[in-house]
Amino acid sequence: MNGQKIKRRVGKYEVGRTIGEGTFAKVKFARNSETGEPVALKIIDKEKVLKYMQAEQIQREIATMKLIKHPNVVQLYEEQINFDSNVADGKSDQLCYELNLLAYVMGSKTKIYIILEFVTGGELFHKILNSGRMSEKEARRYFQQLINAVDYCHSRGVYHRDLKLENLLLDAFGNLKISDFGLSALSQQVRDDGLLHTTCGTPNYVAPEVLKDGGYDGAAADLWSCGVILFVLLAGYLPFDDTNLLNLFQLRITISEIMHDEWFKKEYKLPVFEETKERNTDDIGAICKDCEVHNVREKEDQPTPMNAFELISLSEGLNLENLFDVDQGFKREIRFTSKCSANEIINKIEEAAKPLGFDVQKKNFKMKLKNVKAGRKGNLNVATEIFQVAPSLHVVKINKAKGDTLEFLKFYNKLSTRLEDVVWKTEDDMDDAK
């Protein structure tokens, strides 16, 4: 080897240092060995995608970026990549096309590779963190670029859903670049009511209606986040920096109204760029073909999603101490968390309840348990429901629907001993962790 260090290569790209890391992926600096052009190489771990059932999210992120080509959005590159038998990714995985995927998405046995524009200026968040608030002129320039990019995304049926300073990058010329479309939604995901229904985003930036169950308009939610970003640019701190998210007002301004505002129009320059022709996204599904059966979809055959926002909203006044109901020292509702699948939890509860003399009715990850033997206050009826906190974590709620509270507690104690292999954390464990 003559003492020379062998550079790791993916296709025609020489891979360098890690510049970012998340749950499912690493982003590394890379360079096109033919042109010398720097790029960002996003390396997604297929095993983790499968484990956490995020294949659909990865596919949606790639499909979204294929739809967008705007000067203020991080670009997904479209360069032809030739493979040969000598190319390896450092782990002896032979690279190959997966059903003739377009060149900027490559696959191996264990990895998915996405080649992105390399943006050198860092996060807008760090600019505020290091220098504090901006002048109106500087803030206006960034806000104009943000609004132009968001407006373009919406025109293509793309809703970002996680706009925040950390996801706004700066290039070498100080221009803004929107990144990270991992939580984005496409217009095809809008339900018959014309709304999106998946709760997601970052607490300080998320619109209040996103936290509710009634659905929300993706464009209006993005625009709320843009307003929060503008506030931070001008003030140097977040406008909503507490837990009282559900009391926020729901008034909205439209992009058209922003663009016609005198403050916005000052020194405004319309972006000039050439939009590419319509792109085909039919090939996206092949990326995670081997993970297809594990996809998490927004269907009625999945447990109701419950994230941190909804856990908070369950508690009165957003005080976590009120998360669990207590009645004269007796809990009429008990929760525990489980790392088992929803179907496994349902089956285990049914297996445990029937020997205790309960009839079981199941529907849509909800169960009704009725004791055939009447107690002091008639038959004890117990209701259970499973909520999905994360793909690999569920909250199970068990509450007394009818009957005596003391009998309910005795029933739960017997039930819990039969569910030892299902329960991950009980309420007491959660209370101890506070």
Q: pLDDT tens, 161-219? A: 999 999 999 999 999 999 988 889 988 888 988 899 988 888 789 888 887 778 999 99
42 labelled ligand-binding: yes
pLDDT at residue 144 above 70? Answer: yes
10 Å Cβ neighbour count for 428? 9
In one-letter notation, the amino acid at residue 36 is G
Q: In the structure, what pLDDT confidence band is assigned to residue 98 with cuts at 50, 70 and 90?
A: very low
What are the boundaries of each domain within the chain? 9-117, 124-271, 304-432
Token duo for residue 216:
């929300």
Which tokens is 169 given?
């990058």
The distance of Cα 35 from the centroid of its chain, to the nearest Å, equals 35
Give tens-digit pLDDT for 244-294.
544 444 476 788 888 888 989 998 988 887 776 666 666 665 555 554 444
In this structure, the dihedral spanned by the alpha carbons of residues 191, 192, 194 and 195, taken in order and rounded to 10 degrees, is -30
Instruction: Of 433, 209, 408, 410, give the one whose Cα is nearest residue 325.
Output: 408
Residues in a beta bridge with 385? 366, 397
Q: Which fold has domain 304-432?
A: TATA-Binding Protein (3.30.310)
What is the CATH superfamily name and number for domain 9-117? Phosphorylase Kinase; domain 1 (3.30.200.20)
Contacts of residue 56, defined as CB under 8 A and 6 or more positions apart, other chains included, come to: 295, 296, 297
Q: Which amino acid is at 398?
A: I
Tokens coding 331: 């809990």
Distance of CA 70 to the CA centre of its chain: 23
SS3 of 80, please?
Answer: coil
pLDDT at 293: 43
At residue 347, does pLDDT exceed 60? yes
The CA distance from 194 to 216, in Å, is 9
pTM of the model: 0.56
DSSP, res 243: S
What average pLDDT does range 323-329 have in this prediction?
Answer: 37
Element (H, E) at 399: strand 393-402
316 pLDDT band (50/70/90 cuts)? very low
pLDDT at 326 over 60: no
325 catalytic, yes or no? no
Burial class of residue 288, CB neighbours in 10 A (0-12, 13-18, 19+): buried
Write out the two tokens for 186.
């496409």
**Active-site annotation holder among 84, 151, 162, 327:** 162
83 phi and psi, to 5 degrees?
-110, 150
Region of 289 on the Ramachandran plot (φ > 0 left; ψ -120 to 50 alpha; else beta): alpha
CA distance 28 to 47: 19
**What is the H or E stretch that residue 416 is in?**
helix 405-417
Q: Please report the pLDDT score of residue 412 as a whole number.
A: 86
Burial status of residue 167 (CB atoms within 10 A of its CB: 0-12, 13-18, 19 or more): buried
CATH code, 124-271: 1.10.510.10
| Residue 86 pLDDT greater than 50, yes or no | no
In this predicted structure, what is the pLDDT of residue 358? 92
For the chain, what's the residue count?
A: 434
Q: Cβ neighbours of residue 180 under 8 Å, at least 6 residues apart?
A: 162, 167
Q: Residues 261-265: contacts with CB within 8 Å, 24+ apart?
A: 263/136, 263/140, 264/140, 264/143, 264/144, 264/147
- Distance between CA 43 and CA 93 in Å, rounded? 13
